[in-house]
Every structure is written in C-alpha cells, then in structure tokens.
Amino acid sequence: MSLLANTPECIYLPGKSVASRRIHGWQEELLKLGKANPTTGHFSDASTNKGASLTTAMNDTVLDIVAGRKPVSTFQVQLKKWRSGGGDEIRAEFEASVAGK
C-alpha cells in the first residue's frame, strides 16, 4: 500500500466505539473486493497523450447518466468514442507492456 498521496484513515467517533468497530469491519470487507491496478509500473504513450481527456469525457457521461441528464444508452455511444479515440490503443500498449513485449 502506498501512502505517498494519501494517509491512513483514522476512524475515531468519540463515545461511539461500537460504530467505529462496525465501520472498520465494513472497510475490512470492502478491502477483500479491491483489485490492484495491473498497469502500475507500466507505460503507455497513448495513455499519457490521450488518457486524461478520454477519462474526463467518460466520467462526464457517467455523471450525466446518474444525474438523469442523459439516457443510459449514452454510455455505449461514449464507450465507442473512447475506444476509437485512443482507448483501444491504450489497452493494447498496456497489454504489451504487462506481457513484457
């Protein structure tokens, strides 16, 4: 676990030790669901050049859907744009890097 960009969380609720223990228990269960990012330590030129704008566009679409501003079908449209706009290239570069090519 890296603490460079974030500190360990401290659960302290004065006078509510039962709630603190419950929150800690829930966090332990959530940690079991977590997955390490397989691209950590790998590089993709396409991700460096296009990743931020692609991620922003995708996140904006998801927020619009959740907020009810756009229909759920918009997600598939944006996913196609993400893929053709560099997402497939990013994935291919990371796959090659992870495979050691």
List phi, psi (to 5°) of 68. Answer: 85, 10
Listed residue (65, 100, 95) closest to 79, CA to CA: 65
Output the pLDDT for position 12. 86
Residue type, 32: K
Model confidence over 47-98: pLDDT tens digits? 999 999 999 999 999 999 999 999 999 999 999 999 999 999 999 999 999 9
Count Cβ neighbours within 10 Å for each residue of 37-51 and write b for 16 or more, e otherwise.
eebeebebebbeebe
CA distance 73 to 17: 45
Which range is most confident: 1-5, 23-27, 36-40, 72-76? 72-76
Tell which wins on pLDDT, 71 or 2. Answer: 71
Q: Residue 36's pLDDT band (boundaries 50, 70, 90)?
A: confident
CA distance 80 to 73: 12
